[in-house]
Amino acid sequence: MGVVGFCNCPTFCLTKSNSNLQIVGYTPRPSFSFEGNQRKIVAMASTIPVEQVNKGPQQLTCDFFIREHLRKLAPYQPILPFEVLSSRLGRKPEDIVKLDANENPYGPPPEVLEALGSIRFPYVYPDPESRRLRAALAQDSGLESDYILAGCGADELIDLIMRCVLDPGDKIVDCPPTFTMYEFDAAVNGAHVIKVPRKADFSLNVEHITEVVKQEKPKCIFLTSPNNPDGSIIDDEVLLKILDLPILVVLDEAYVEFSGIESRMTWVKKYENLIVLRTFSKRAGLAGLRVGYGAFPLSIIEYLWRAKQPYNVSVAAEISACAALQNPTYLENVKEALVKERERLYNLLNELPFLRPFPSHSNFILCEVASGMDAKKLKEDLAQMGVMIRHYNNKELSGYVRVSVGKPEQTDALMKCLRKFL
Ligand SMILES: Cc1ncc(COP(=O)(O)O)c(C=O)c1O
C-alpha cells in the first residue's frame, strides 16, 4: 500500500492498493505533515475507527474529486442531434420538420461551403485573435474591432464573462422565462441566481430588478432582446434604467436581426457596464460551426482576452463567418423570408382553438396550449409525426410550446399535423 495523495478534506484518506484507488475511512484532518513518509501515514491510519477498518476499504468512486457545487448541478438538456433523432423516430433526417431549436433552416450563403472546401492550412492553429473576423465584424457593425471578441458561439462568451466576473458565491440576476444557459452557467461557476420573473406580458419587472440590485448587490444581470422563448424586446427607456444601476448588464442579442430594432453593440463605447452578445447561429445559419461574438467596453475586454482559451474560434468557424459576411444580400433575404413566414405562421397558429400564440420579434413563436390540451403530449404526438417543437414545463412556463419559424413548406407540414388535433 502506498499513499498517492491526501485530500484537503476532513473525511477521507485516499490510498492505493495494487490496482485501485480506495477510501480507507474517516480521518480527522491531521495537524502535522504527511509528506512522503509512509510510517507517518500508518500512524494516521490508526485513527480510523476500528469498525470501519474491519469492514474493509470502501471503493473510491471518481465523483469524489468533483467540486462540491457541481455535484448538485442538473445537466443542461440539449436538443438531440439530427442523426439520433432520425433513428429514434425511424425517419430520414430530411423528412423531419425541425422547429425546436430556433435554427435557421436556410443555412449559410453558398460562399461559406466554398470557403470551407478550400481551407488551405487546417493543420495550423487558428488566429487566437480572430483578426480577419473581427475586422469584418467591425465593418458589419460600425464598431471598431478593439471592442469585439469572438467566441465558440455566444454560449462560450456567456461562460467566459461569468468566469471573469464571478467569484463563487457571487450573485447574478436572471429574468425568467428566458434562455436557460444563464442559470446553468451561473451554477457551473458557483454563483447564486436571483430570479426576477417577467410580468405576465413577458416584459421586465424593472421596479423589482432595481430593488434586488440595491438589496442583494448582484454583480451582473443577463437580459435578452428579443427574449427567448417569447420574442419580446427591451425598449431603450427600460434598458437605460437598468444601465443606470450599479450592475454589469449583459444584453444577449442572439436574435436581434429578426426584431427590426438596431443592435446596441455601439453603446458599449458609452456605457462602461454594458456587454452585447451576438451570434452567427441564427442570422447566418451557422449554428453547427459555433461562432458568436460580443461587444465589450475596453476596460472589460482586456480581461476576457487574458482568460479565454487561445484557440476558441476554429479555422473553419472563422472562415465560415467571414464568408457569410461577404454576402449581406443573402443574409438580408433570408431574414426577410423568416420575418414574413413568422407573420404567416402566427396567423395560422392563432386560428387553432387550442393554441394562443404570442406576437414575436424573433424567429420563433411561443404558444400557450389551451382548451385542456396537454402541452407535453402535443409535443410528443407531433414528434411521432416527424415534427419537432419545444415544450416547456417549468415554474415560470408550464403548458407552453415554442415553435421555430421555418420555410413555408415546414409551416405547411406543421399545420397539417396540428389540424389533426381538431
Ligand atoms: C438567447 C440566446 N443566446 C445565445 C444562444 C446561443 O448562441 P450560440 O449558438 O452562438 O452559442 C441562444 C441559442 O439558442 C439563445 O437562444
Would you say the CB of residue 312 lies under 6 angstroms from ligand 1? no
Give just the sign of the alpha carbon dihedral 278, 281, 284, 288.
positive
- Expressed in angstroms and rounded, the spacing between residue 178 Cα and the centre of ligand 1 is 11
Closest among 184, 158, 183 to 248, alpha carbons compared: 158
355: burial class by Cβ within 10 Å (0-12, 13-18, 19+)? buried
DSSP-assigned beta bridge partners for residue 193: 172
Calculate helix-pair angle for 328-350, 408-419, nearest 10 degrees: 20
Q: Is the peptide bond before 177 cis (omega within 30 degrees of 0)?
A: yes
CB count, 10 Å around CB of 4? 8
Amino acid identity for residue 35 in this structure: E
Q: Which residues, including other chains, have CB under 8 Å from residue 103's CB and lie 6 or more apart?
A: 281, 282, 285, 287, 404
**pTM for the full model?**
0.87
- Expressed in angstroms and rounded, the spacing between residue 282 Cα and the centre of ligand 1 is 8
DSSP 24-43: EEE-PPPSS--TT-HHHHHH
Q: Which three cell numbers stand for residue 103?
A: 435554427
Q: Which three cell numbers stand for residue 19?
A: 490496482
Would you say the CB of residue 179 lies under 6 angstroms from ligand 1? yes
CA-nearest residue for atom 7, ligand 1, is: 154
Would you say the CB of residue 281 lies under 6 angstroms from ligand 1? yes
DSSP-assigned beta bridge partners for residue 239: none
Nearest-atom number in ligand 1 for the CA of 178 is 1
pLDDT in tens, the chain (422 residues): 333 333 334 344 444 444 444 444 444 443 333 333 333 333 333 344 445 545 556 677 777 888 988 988 887 777 788 888 888 888 998 899 999 999 999 999 999 999 999 999 999 999 999 999 999 999 999 999 999 999 999 999 999 999 999 999 999 999 999 999 999 999 999 999 999 999 999 999 999 999 999 999 999 999 999 999 999 999 999 999 999 999 999 999 999 999 999 999 999 999 999 999 999 999 999 999 999 999 999 999 999 999 999 999 999 999 999 999 999 999 999 999 999 999 999 999 999 999 999 999 999 999 999 989 999 999 999 999 999 999 998 888 999 999 999 999 999 999 999 999 99
- Expressed in angstroms and rounded, the spacing between residue 158 Cα and the centre of ligand 1 is 9
- Expressed in angstroms and rounded, the spacing between residue 245 Cα and the centre of ligand 1 is 25
Asked if residue 223 lies in contact with residue 234, where contact means CB atoms within 8 angstroms, the answer is yes
Cα dist from 318 to 66, 109, 134, 278, whole Å? 34, 15, 9, 15
- Give the SS3 label for residue 220: strand
Would you say the CB of residue 229 lies under 6 angstroms from ligand 1? no
188: burial class by Cβ within 10 Å (0-12, 13-18, 19+)? middle
**C-alpha count within 13 angstroms, C-beta hemisphere, residue 185:** 23
Give just the sign of the alpha carbon dihedral 143, 145, 148, 152.
positive
Would you say the CB of residue 104 lies under 6 angstroms from ligand 1? no
